């Protein structure tokens, strides 16, 4: 028996579209709803309690749309809100940190893993905990590289500023001896071409959580018999809490013109008018 209810996915901006793409490729028969919280973009520099409140309000909205599973397609929001969300909501909630951590542990050969992320994700130490949970013997170097988020949102992932920042990052992790680099922000996979040029096919494995998160979602759907079945490709629904034109422009720059137009959802106005708290 198939379950045709949609899967909800959210992030503060376009970065989570990397996860959406992988879900769309792996699970083409599933209906997908993506919500970008541009009203509060970016999440990285914000306090954890702020991000937690935003995330819980968004998940509540997505659950209200009868989603059968929600993906927190943001490392900062995963660190801030995943545990609280799992306690509050009955639907499965999947974050992006644990899948990426597991992939890094499987990829490293010398037991040294570097993680680049936003400041909020680095400060939470959630990647350290997740990697140590998977293998306590692995060493972890965490680096905050927040400027990369704005660079990616501006469509400059292949530009000189991104190149300079990533060159500095690779010098630092190379000096530390890491053989595996985790892209600990869902915006960062869009920097892969620049990274590959800098690495020149070197000995550093690059891991992002988009593909591994999609695979985990697929397993959860199978185990819990929540799959929609069939192979017909269904276009995702895109929602934004602000600046739909900016979102559409960024998405088109990064992914081409294949995405539908986003719909503005006045989520925070509605919350304020109703007196609801996150």
226 and 183 housed in the same domain: no
Residue 235 gets which letter from DSSP? P
Q: Which of 209, 232, 264 delimits the end of a domain?
A: 209
Give me the catalytic one of 63, 70, 73, 74. Answer: 74
**Residue 2 lies inside a defined structural domain of this protein:** no
Confidence check: pLDDT of 271 > 60 = no
Contact partners, residue 111, CB within 8 Å, separation at least 6:
135, 137, 138, 139
29 and 166 housed in the same domain: no
137 and 200 housed in the same domain: yes
**Residue 1 lies inside a defined structural domain of this protein:** no
Range of the domain at 89: 7-95+212-274
Give me the catalytic one of 72, 77, 185, 265. Answer: 185
Confidence check: pLDDT of 274 > 50 = no
86 and 107 housed in the same domain: no
Q: Which of 184, 209, 234 delimits the end of a domain?
A: 209
Contact partners, residue 90, CB within 8 Å, separation at least 6:
none
End-to-end CA distance of the chain: 34
188 and 262 housed in the same domain: no
Q: Which of 191, 209, 227 delimits the end of a domain?
A: 209
90 and 225 housed in the same domain: yes
User: 215 an active-site residue?
Assistant: no
pLDDT of residue 200: 78
Task: For residues 29 and 169, give the distance between their C-alpha atoms in angstroms, rounded to a whole number.
Answer: 39
122 and 24 housed in the same domain: no
CATH code (residue 132): 3.40.50.1860
Work out the percent of the chain whose per-residue pLDDT is above 70.
Answer: 95
Binding site residues, as ranges? Answer: 11-12, 43-44, 75-76, 186-187
108 and 202 housed in the same domain: yes
User: 153 an active-site residue?
Assistant: no
Nearest to 8 by CA among 257, 239, 258, 184: 239
Binding site residues for substrate, as ranges? Answer: 11-12, 43-44, 75-76, 186-187
Packing angle, helices 48-64 and 75-88, rounded to 10: 60
Phi then psi for 127, rounded to 5 degrees? Answer: -65, -40
pTM: 0.88
Confidence check: pLDDT of 77 > 60 = yes
Structural domains of the chain, count: 2
Q: Which of 92-96, 127-131, 186-190 has the lowest mean pLDDT?
A: 186-190
Alpha carbon dihedral 169, 171, 176, 181, in 10-degree steps, equals 50
**Residue 222 lies inside a defined structural domain of this protein:** yes
Q: Which of 102-116, 165-179, 257-271 has the lowest mean pLDDT?
A: 257-271
Query: What's the pLDDT tens digit per position in 26-68?
Result: 999 999 999 999 999 999 889 999 999 999 999 999 999 999 9
Confidence check: pLDDT of 209 > 70 = yes
134 and 163 housed in the same domain: yes
125 and 169 housed in the same domain: yes
Split at pLDDT 50, 70, 90, the class of 256 is: low
73 and 123 housed in the same domain: no
86 and 101 housed in the same domain: no
């Amino acid at each position: 028996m198939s379950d045709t209810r949609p899967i909800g996915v959210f992030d503060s901006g376009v970065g989570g579209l990397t996860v959406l793409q992988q879900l769309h490729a792996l699970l083409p028969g599933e209906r997908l709803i993506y919500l970008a919280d541009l009203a509060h973009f970016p999440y990285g520099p914000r306090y954890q309690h702020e991000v937690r409140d935003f995330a819980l309000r968004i998940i509540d909205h997505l659950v209200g749309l009868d989603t059968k599973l929600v993906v927190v397609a943001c490392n900062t929001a995963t660190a801030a809100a995943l545990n609280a969300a799992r306690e509050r909501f009955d639907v499965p909630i999947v974050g992006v940190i644990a899948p990426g951590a597991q992939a890094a542990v499987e990829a490293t050969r010398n037991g040294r893993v570097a993680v680049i992320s936003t400041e909020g994700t680095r400060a939470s130490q959630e990647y350290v905990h997740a990697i140590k949970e998977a293998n306590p013997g692995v060493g972890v170097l965490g680096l905050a590289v927040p400027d990369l988020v704005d660079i990616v949102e501006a469509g400059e992932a292949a530009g000189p500023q991104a190149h300079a920042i990533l060159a500095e990052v690779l010098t630092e992790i190379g000096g530390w001896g890491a053989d595996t680099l985790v892209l600990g922000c869902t915006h960062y996979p869009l920097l892969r071409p620049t990274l590959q040029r800098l690495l020149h096919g070197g000995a550093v494995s690059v891991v992002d959580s988009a593909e591994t998160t999609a695979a985990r979602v697929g397993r959860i759907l199978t185990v819990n018999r929540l799959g929609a079945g069939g192979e017909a490709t269904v276009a995702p629904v895109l929602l934004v809490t602000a600046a739909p034109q900016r979102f559409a422009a960024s998405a088109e720059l990064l992914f081409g013109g294949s995405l539908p137009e986003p719909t503005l959802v006045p989520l925070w106005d509605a919350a304020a008018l109703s007196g609801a708290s996150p």
